[in-house]
Structure 1
């Protein structure tokens, strides 16, 4: 199996990237600063070595799926599906060296896509990384993005590889986590004379099952604080629990509120109070902040639904401040957006400008501004999605999300 070093991946990415590098221009003291900000879910992005370990284990277990599958129209997996998935977990953990080592590996179905008959190769994975690197290059070079929030990435080292020719210009931090997926930031160090400060919010990393001490935890949050000319600004990177996304039903996805008994909704529900406490804490120190990332929730649908305050919580109480939690951390709320953007914490979603060139998930990735920061923006502010760079007939897509970006005035 060939080995693809960061240098070789960079050479592949260079074939797709734009040619010029422009140095960042420092802002005059006190002058408004325009900064491109982006959020990008990298779809299980690890290093080439991470993939090679993944392929060695997964080929030995026939690329089985550790998650029990539901039958057509079924609300939950049947006993046989649960048994098959449990055997896959046991075999994978044994070959990986134990549960902890297996948790730091992408699951065997992560890169299979629709073509399950032909597992991806090292060459396919190198093409994925090259596409990601070329996409990041395009964001920096053509859109002036200088703060990037990443989700579904293995480590800061992977981010440094994907920054390619810009790696020396950007600082990077990640949120240490006990699972393969985590969140990370990269920012142009010329933005501030002071070093950026990163801090991890571990409260968001709730366990899937609070009754099981061995249950896995979802991703933590990560904050980046920058001292810009004349003001301190924070960026909050989230990747919330998946599987409870929409309030408008589709042919594929059932409409679900946050009080839905589905497991995914229960987990997302238990992230509400920690997220609210985080926003309030950051807002006291740095009133101008950006909340961005993969929300795994269509907060745009929730906002458009014009939900009345008395409909937000099950008991009809005013959704002001963080809701009370039960012993498991669950709260009596139905809607994420209305719970977060209450009268005491004004928030603004940056609207999305349609981009037909973008493929991938819709409605999950968002950029949200605090009230004070939103007030500084010119009318008509919109964000955009950028198509992920890929070569024709690429077997393993670079990402199933498109990066979402906006140029903000600070």
Structure 2
């Protein structure tokens, strides 16, 4: 009898284990990252001399006296600057805008490639702030030959790309979620779109949304009031409904869903804000009445209705030191002081200028993780050094964000 029961338990739990799929997923904002060809043209444009037209306040290319190189100008004041092709010129800063040379950019790319190979063992990587698919291929192992890609094309230069190992599963769809870019808004008030990928893994659908939401409305504990009149918070407020709409649509057919990326919002602070999630104090599981604003993005999009769309934020861990983990824990409860943030961003801790509070991984029902999501330290690779003019001693940070990685079961 005991042997019979043991055999039944083996079959039962062995079968359950066989039905569980495991995926390691990561998110990383690469900080205005470009492919080498684009970077070369960007360096040429930023090295061009410009002169200001007093009548318009705009800058035009010129060889006349009184010129400034693009490195020293707000590029949005350069008359013909194309933000769909090139980033701003002051991406890298070390006591002033670093006048980037191509050799330093090549070195940066190699450092990213080495870091991914050594420290980011993910099956799926959702990137933000990349110029396109080619820029991601150039920093993946073996030139990206072992990966498939779902890229954003068009839009402005801070684009999204999801890369995954070809052996992982079958691509069902790759779609740009234009609604998140608020197409009804004027161009200067349009944020970035979302990027949605559906994979079939072991016969099961996994739907992933990569986001890079509106910046500069980070925390209700630091004047980042989502319901406020600040222009950035107003735009982020507008992104709540299209984001919730995607979540509900994506989960409607029983698919497992993951929402991840750079939210530019501290979701932990929202969850600890004692105020009602809506300005009229109504429950978030009901449609939001006209004129009512949300104070909490996470409580709005993860409201439990429908049950298949009830997302949760994965716990986050900083596996660097006891002191580092203590700071990461505190960062979920309150705003860190400037010295605390600087310590967490230092080489011996996480190493990136934006160490915590912006990037998150959310999962829907049917997905769990045995461990918290991890903020991966980039150590000494997060700093810039201007070096001598056009010298080989120039150093460029691999990013101002640290990657986050999670191991998921579904």
What is the CA–CA distance in structure 2 between the aligned matches of 1:216 and 1:89, rounded to whole Å? 14
What is the CA–CA distance in structure 1 between the aligned matches of 2:204 and 2:235, rounded to whole Å? 36
What is the CA–CA distance in structure 2 between the aligned matches of 1:265 and 1:186, rounded to whole Å? 30
Indicate whether 1:314 and 2:279 are aligned.
yes
What is the CA–CA distance in structure 2 between the aligned matches of 1:341 and 1:90, rounded to whole Å? 40
The 3-state SS of whatever aligns with 2:171 is coil
Cα separation, partners in 2 of 1:185 and 1:302, compared to 1, 3 Å:
same
Indicate whether 1:34 and 2:15 are aligned.
no
Indicate whether 1:339 and 2:300 are aligned.
yes
| Correspondence for 1:91 among 78, 97, 101 | 78
| Correspondence for 1:264 among 232, 237, 253 | 232
Q: Are the equivalent residues in 2 in contact too, given 1:273–1:322 (CA < 8 A)?
A: no
What is the CA–CA distance in structure 2 between the aligned matches of 1:389 and 1:164, rounded to whole Å? 21
What's 1:116 paired with? Answer: 96
Q: Displacement, 1:395?
A: 2.2
Indicate whether 1:243 and 2:243 are aligned.
no
What's 1:222 paired with? Answer: 195
What is the CA–CA distance in structure 2 between the aligned matches of 1:152 and 1:179, rounded to whole Å? 10
Give the greater-gyration-radius structure (CA): 2
Q: Are the equivalent residues in 1 in contact too, given 2:75–2:88 (CA < 8 A)?
A: no
* TM-score for the superposition, normalised by structure 2: 0.74
Q: Displacement, 1:342?
A: 0.9
Indicate whether 1:295 and 2:276 are aligned.
no
What is the CA–CA distance in structure 2 between the aligned matches of 1:370 and 1:185, rounded to whole Å? 19
Q: Are the equivalent residues in 2 in contact too, given 1:134–1:389 (CA < 8 A)?
A: no
What's 2:351 paired with? Answer: 359
The 3-state SS of whatever aligns with 1:54 is helix
Partner deviation per Cα, 1:305-332 (whole Å, 9 max, x = no partner) = 3x46xx1111222212553567xxxx61
Question: What is the aligned length?
Answer: 335
The 3-state SS of whatever aligns with 1:406 is strand
Partner deviation per Cα, 1:280-323 (whole Å, 9 max, x = no partner) = 00010344111100000000111233x46xx1111222212553
Cα separation, partners in 2 of 1:283 and 1:353, compared to 1, 3 Å:
same
What is the CA–CA distance in structure 2 between the aligned matches of 1:222 and 1:312, rounded to whole Å? 27
What is the CA–CA distance in structure 2 between the aligned matches of 1:146 and 1:126, rounded to whole Å? 25
Cα separation, partners in 2 of 1:202 and 1:337, compared to 1, 3 Å:
same
What's 2:339 paired with? Answer: none
Cα separation, partners in 2 of 1:90 and 1:175, compared to 1, 3 Å:
same
* Paired residues for 1:14-93 under 5 Å: 30-61=18-49, 88-93=75-80
What is the CA–CA distance in structure 2 between the aligned matches of 1:246 and 1:205, rounded to whole Å? 21
Cα separation, partners in 2 of 1:216 and 1:60, compared to 1, 3 Å:
farther
Q: Displacement, 1:151?
A: 0.4
The 3-state SS of whatever aligns with 1:129 is helix
The 3-state SS of whatever aligns with 1:103 is coil
The 3-state SS of whatever aligns with 2:242 is helix
What's 2:248 paired with? Answer: 280
The 3-state SS of whatever aligns with 1:261 is coil
Q: Are the equivalent residues in 1 in contact too, given 2:42–2:86 (CA < 8 A)?
A: yes
Q: Displacement, 1:87?
A: 8.1
Q: Are the equivalent residues in 1 in contact too, given 2:89–2:97 (CA < 8 A)?
A: no
What is the CA–CA distance in structure 1 between the aligned matches of 2:98 and 2:203, rounded to whole Å? 55
Q: Are the equivalent residues in 2 in contact too, given 1:233–1:289 (CA < 8 A)?
A: yes
Indicate whether 1:179 and 2:143 are aligned.
no
What is the CA–CA distance in structure 2 between the aligned matches of 1:321 and 1:353, rounded to whole Å? 33
What is the CA–CA distance in structure 1 between the aligned matches of 2:127 and 2:79, rounded to whole Å? 27
What is the CA–CA distance in structure 2 between the aligned matches of 1:62 and 1:136, rounded to whole Å? 38
Partner deviation per Cα, 1:199-247 (whole Å, 9 max, x = no partner) = 110000126x93x3x4363211111111111421111110000000012
What is the CA–CA distance in structure 2 between the aligned matches of 1:363 and 1:319, rounded to whole Å? 23
* Structure 1: gaps of 5 or more residues: 1-27, 69-84, 250-254
| Correspondence for 2:182 among 163, 187, 206 | 206
Q: Displacement, 1:190?
A: 1.1
Cα separation, partners in 2 of 1:196 and 1:188, compared to 1, 3 Å:
farther
* Structure 2: gaps of 5 or more residues: 1-15, 58-71, 321-348, 386-393
The 3-state SS of whatever aligns with 2:156 is coil
What's 1:304 paired with? Answer: 272
Q: Are the equivalent residues in 2 in contact too, given 1:43–1:153 (CA < 8 A)?
A: yes
Q: Displacement, 1:90?
A: 4.5
Q: Are the equivalent residues in 2 in contact too, given 1:177–1:220 (CA < 8 A)?
A: no
Q: Are the equivalent residues in 2 in contact too, given 1:221–1:237 (CA < 8 A)?
A: yes
